[in-house]
Structure 1
């Protein structure tokens, strides 16, 4: 008994790679060098401000009984004009030094081969990496297409390794478009789990207006296997896949990440029966409650009721609804809720719930 690994209905040993313990936060290590520099500058300027405050406080100790400063509040809690000027000067110096640091980091990234438009907007996403060369890979065939991307099966020429190349389409003259793409990269670099597809690098150049994400190659996806007339999942096989999906999802949520598009076509399977979550293009960090999120996420048939009703305040639970839909689909051999619109899907949910 085990997870089906191909459309020829070959059974293999279940790939129940149990995961325990915390993984290191790759992103924090990647950003450590620039983070320490920024922290050092902040500490230096904070010390200067405190010294100036103490000096001026002792000098003006006899004048503490003045009623109100020009900015409101008693003079004991307020600042003298000299103190305010001192703080403004220190703040300007801090901004100037941080700006110089940003320019220095950006210059380093451009020197490493990253295009300036990418470094200027998404410097944190590529920090510590060097771009891969396009001529190091040979495209073999197109294997997928999304709204903003195409996916190709390719071969690394030096090693012969098969990889998946995701070509992202965006307008590099629109900073918001670049930031959207950078968020996916940052999230993938933060995650490290055997049931989450691994981002191995990025392909771009100073002269290029496109970018490729390089992933490990997976032979199948769960939607393709479940829709095959030759395949009928057994109970043990469903358990095998669900265990891996929930393990990967638990890691995402423990890192504060919502996938927001769990469905069979985004769950990849290799010939060893290992399942990996993929396509984090709609993923985002869990909201702190102050940020409104869009409800236009999650493919319609896997979208939970709160999103169908337009909620902009939600959490990681939206992924669990999608997992439940995938779970039912594996048993039924077809999607559970196949509404054509949000209202239609809500009605389907109500009918299914009443029965």
Structure 2
């Protein structure tokens, strides 16, 4: 961690004029800033109606309009689309010009006020010089996360820098949507957006969050750390409470995984990273992209191309997390979407004839097995406690309708039998542990092993089996990166400060995996109707073989 970002440094805003940066960097970094992984998939399908289905998307389309002046060829098309979106969602359209002017006068950059006016309404931007960067604690395709000192309030915060080197309008749209979603949520188990850092002359944006010392993936992969059953229940209870709040507010997270579950030193777990989140209305079905959720945690209906779905997608991911905490490793680590679906069928059984018939999923005819698979969850995890296995069986139901809800899961026997979920405040205190740290540790070990002697390699291998637990998982919608590169191929993909890298996370991860990375693997025929755009992400197993002190691993 320290090796990436050594000295404390004040945050600096660009001194170039917005117009200069706007035109020279208008389509690469920004598009990624908000559109990490699955976001990009929605970007790719932005022309479809579901892009406007998500309320926040409309917010962003407005954003898109402001940026589209630089892309005159598409401006009219985007403008017409924005008008349609505003008509569909009257509460989330553009704000009056007078209000936009007031926001610019208050210090917001005009490009942000024009597109995300509703998202930033009532807020005043924080000054960049009121923060001091301390260390880099996370990295995404189009954003970096830093630990920083809030000099005005004398506290530690997390700053998520969204890079807007190329103000690609659709990317700004998704960024605005995330801000809007975060402001709608208010719960102890959901990360809180505390403010935004930018200025009138800036083409970048920092999101200010409360600082969390750990994430579940990094904490569970820490050498020698073992979770008790009461601790597992404590984390699962907090996760489901946070999800219940999101779902009750009409929001799907769509990327539940260990690295997106942050934990502070008081044991409090908070759901984070709403970049792929979406608004939904359970009473009014609208199509959404199926290219969401990190591959190992992606439900079968999305792999089969479903575009009409709801809260059940988050519950499937939650079931994977629960099983992973007990098993000590990811339970279905597929390398491609085809392989992932095969692993799901082998463990959870293939859908019934009735489900195939009623669901009418796009890829059903291609991936329906000739011989049905028998469900064997109970046999595979027979050593799990009965209440945990029962909840897992529900959450990992092939039919989304059988997964219940976060609220019903909280009432399950899993939480009402001994050992009960412990209070977060009595959990052990751990040194800061994030998945990002584990990736750096693994990369350093790999480099030393490659350069060292044979004896050193053997020693590192031994240490690696004990310490290196953060296995990279394929990202939810890595495919979007290549799609956007194709669509923006004519634009300059280099930032003035950083070279655009479609796979920056791979630099920080050196964990050896024999099979090809998901970004390199050739996908099956389920992708024939969509662009191929894979990016490798890293979401390690939540615990190692000895994840729990009192349970055998499987």
TM-score of the two chains, using structure 1 as the length reference = 0.70
1:1-355 equivalent positions in 2, closer than 5 A: 102-170=96-164, 173-287=167-281, 289=284, 291-353=286-348, 354-355=375-376
Q: Distance in 2 between matches of 1:275 and 1:141?
A: 22
- Kindly indicate whether the alpha-carbon contact (under 8 Å) linking 1:140 and 1:152 is maintained by their aligned counterparts in 2: yes
Give TM-score, length-normalised by structure 2: 0.45
- Which of structures 1 and 2 has the bigger CA Rg? 1
Give per-residue Cα distances to partners, 1:232-267, cap 9 Å, x unaligned. 211111110001000010000000000000000000
CA contact (8 A) 2:255 2:314 kept: yes
1:166 touches 1:214 (CA, 8 Å); kept in 2?
A: yes
User: What is the DSSP-based 3-state SS (H/G/I as helix, E as strand, rest coil) of the residue aligned with 2:318?
Assistant: helix
Task: Give the distance between the partners of 1:280 and 1:194, measured in 2 at CA.
Answer: 16
Aligned to 1:192, the other structure's residue is in SS state coil
Encode CA deviations 1:147-194: one digit per residue, 9 max, x unaligned. Answer: 221100000123320000001124664332211100000000000000
In structure 1, runs of 5+ residues without a counterpart are: 1-97
What value does the CA root-mean-square deviation take over the aligned residues? 1.6
Mapped to 1, the partners of 2:233 and 2:182 lie a distance apart of 26
Query: Aligned residue pairs: how many?
Result: 257
How far 1:289 sits from its partner (Å)? 4.7
Question: Whole-Å Cα distance in 2 between the matches of residues 322 and 242 of structure 1?
Answer: 12
Closer, same or farther in 2 for the Cα pair 1:242/1:290, shift >3 Å?
A: closer
Q: State the Cα deviation string for residues 253-299 of structure 1 (Å, max 9, x = none).
A: 00000000000000000111000000000000015655321111100
Report the CA distance shift for 1:171/1:294 in structure 2 as closer, same or farther (over 3 A): farther
Q: Which runs of 5+ in 2 are unaligned?
A: 1-92, 349-374, 377-554
Inter-partner Cα distance in structure 1 for 2:198 and 2:104: 12
* Aligned residues of 1:171 and 1:178 also touching (Cα < 8 A): no
Partner of 2:403: none
After TM superposition, give the deviation of residue 338 of structure 1 in Å: 0.1
* CA–CA distance in structure 2, aligned partners of residues 248 and 198 of structure 1: 12
Q: Residue 164 of structure 1: SS of its match in structure 2?
A: strand
Q: In 2, distance between residues paired with 1:229 and 1:238?
A: 17
More strand by share: 1
Separation in 1 of the partners of 2:98 and 2:246?
33
Tell which deviates more after alignment, 150-159 or 200-209: 150-159
User: How far apart in 2 are the matches of 1:167 and 1:258?
Assistant: 23
